Structure 1
Amino acid sequence: MGEAALASHTKGKKHETAAAIASSAIPISEFMNADATNTQQRYCSFHNQETDNFRCCNNIYEVIKAEILWALKIMNSHYSFKSSEDTSRLFTAMFPDSQIAARFACGESKCAYVCTFGLAPYFKRLLLAEVSQQTAYVVLFDESLNHHLQSKQMDLHVRLWDGAEVKTKYVGSEFLGHSTAVDIVEKMSKVLSEMGVKNLIQLSMDGPHVNWKAFDLTQKEMQKQVDKSLLNIGSCGLHIVHNAFRDGCKSTNWDIEHTLSSLYWLFHNCPARHEDFVTATGCSTVMLKFCGHRWIENVSVSDRALKLWPYVTTYVEMVRKGDLPDPKVKSFEAVKNSSKDPLFIPKVMIFNSIAREIAPFLTLYQTDKPMLPFLGEDMFQLMKGLMGRFCKEKPLKEATSILKLLHIPLQGSSLHKDATKINLGFSAETCLNQLKSTKNISETGTGT
């Protein structure tokens, strides 16, 4: 198309109409140009909203974390759940600039729920998973009366390897009304099934007959399920040792425990008698309570009695003379009768000496450490030392093993030492020699 044709076209009506429309229309470039101010505002608004949401979410997690840490502190320090009451107001006052403290809310009820239904199941799952991966583990159980619930509480612990250490961990508690062997095994089986019974190697327990019955039932169930037998190393020997010492003391008919117990009860919760005692003797030291179910632990009780006995006899003498009021109670009568016995002090010293010899053994084995490999030898040495007090040396030298030691016929008097050579302990022998030298007792050990 030439120049003349273009000029002719521009003069046409159709071209003029199209040109008018084009000149009045908004060009597309107007729609493509960015408005920097509006775009920045919209971006900042979106970014700020996203940041606020993130901060809010992160703040919630921090508050939850703080509440969990507080609940763990409550449990680890053995605080009551009541200790959490009003902690939100306390922490807000302590940390007024903290948003976490402002939103912290873990009162008595919430703390109890967090511990019972949140943390406890979580840690129990972790423990059960850990035990299920063990090649061997031991279960420990013990029943005691829960006075609050008025039911028997059976606590279950598990002993297992944790790296290079052996650790004992609490699994949980079961509550029973009747606690027959069948009941115990039924409750225990639920926990064992979660841990994997095939790797159980031993049950650790006290020695009541019901526990041994439970052991036998568990043993049969193990043989039935996984064709394995549990190790039998006996039951807890703690009370056995205490009770053996108790029976030995009572067989002497010295009645030491009655006097030691009476010394405590004579002045306990009786300020008038205690004031009379302090006034008469000048001694304000209190007596210690005699423990009737753990006799070896009465070493400190006998020590205190020996220390205060001169003051006690002074008090008794002043009551006899009428200088102090007569208590007229059974505990005073027991103390008064013992004060007349010139051999009472040596008897308590013998009691103290033997208890001191046994006490380190019990202290050593009241531990979570794996001490079983050393139990036999330590028990052998303990028994040999106690028997050496009254038994002749020859049979003890020949007893080179536990089995031989057990077969020594102790009832035969031919193996006993002469009465003058029996080892009573250094303090008792010294006291007896002093009594003999002052003619308070005869050579045969009777009062003059």
Structure 2
Amino acid sequence: MIDDSESDSDTSVDWLGPLGASEENEDEGDRDAILNQEENEKPGTSLEVDDNVDPVSEDLGSGGSLSKKGKYNVTFNVLWKKKYTFITEGKTNYQTKCIYCASEFRINHGGENDIIKHLSTMKHKTNVSASVSSKKINVFFERAGNDDRKKKTALAECVYVFHALKHSHSYNSSMSCGSKLFPILFPDSNVAAKFTCGRTKATKVVTAILAPLSKEQILSDLVEDHPFSIATDASDKGNIKTFPLIVRNFNKSSGVCTKLIRFFNLESKKSVDVANALVAALSELED
């Protein structure tokens, strides 16, 4: 007869062998592995690495640092300025500036790849095209040592403007268009090569050079006590009355001359107002 009390021992028997302390240790090891895995899966404990950034850039020598989130920040590398002549340092080490676009952008995430992406933007392409088609500012300035040629060119421009003014030529047709023919007609002339006199420049030549010179000549003739007379007449331009001040005098070399001194505007055609305006205009010439 088998005693049941003897079959129930501290160590149970299985077909695979005794179930002892070894399997209990394995169960505890599995529990520890699960707990460690759950602990690692908690947010904020893993190190994030940006796959687009190469932490080691020995060929370019770019520096960098790890941010609080564990991402690698790429700093500006001076060697990039040789490869991309249009970029320079930004306000911080993590920024670069595009000269064409006059704007800054960050390069701490992608490094040189961020510069390549900027090249493909429409803004950069447009600004590059505008820069290529525009002339540099130093083109508009003469170098030292060309004073004689500059004087001859300025004199030729003044003569050409005086000719157009004398024959009542249009500034647009005669100046802006006609002055462009001289470099083509006279390619061997240094003066013609630098001859530029469009509508805006011709207007300045008349108002700043020819008109003051003409007034000086008229006043020099009048101080010699030769007989002279003045005349004016109203001409409506919209709701404004325009009055030219004309002087007619005698000159020994030229004979009788009729010249325009100035224009003035009035809102009235009354004789008293016109007379007062003539006195005021002549007083300004006297000063």
State the TM-score, normalizing by the size of structure 2. 0.45
Determine which structure has more spread, i.e. the larger CA radius of gyration: 2
Identify the structure with bigger relative contact order (alpha carbons < 8 Å, sequence gap 6+).
1
Give the structure with the higher percent helix: 1
State the TM-score, normalizing by the size of structure 1. 0.30
Give the structure with the higher percent strand: 2
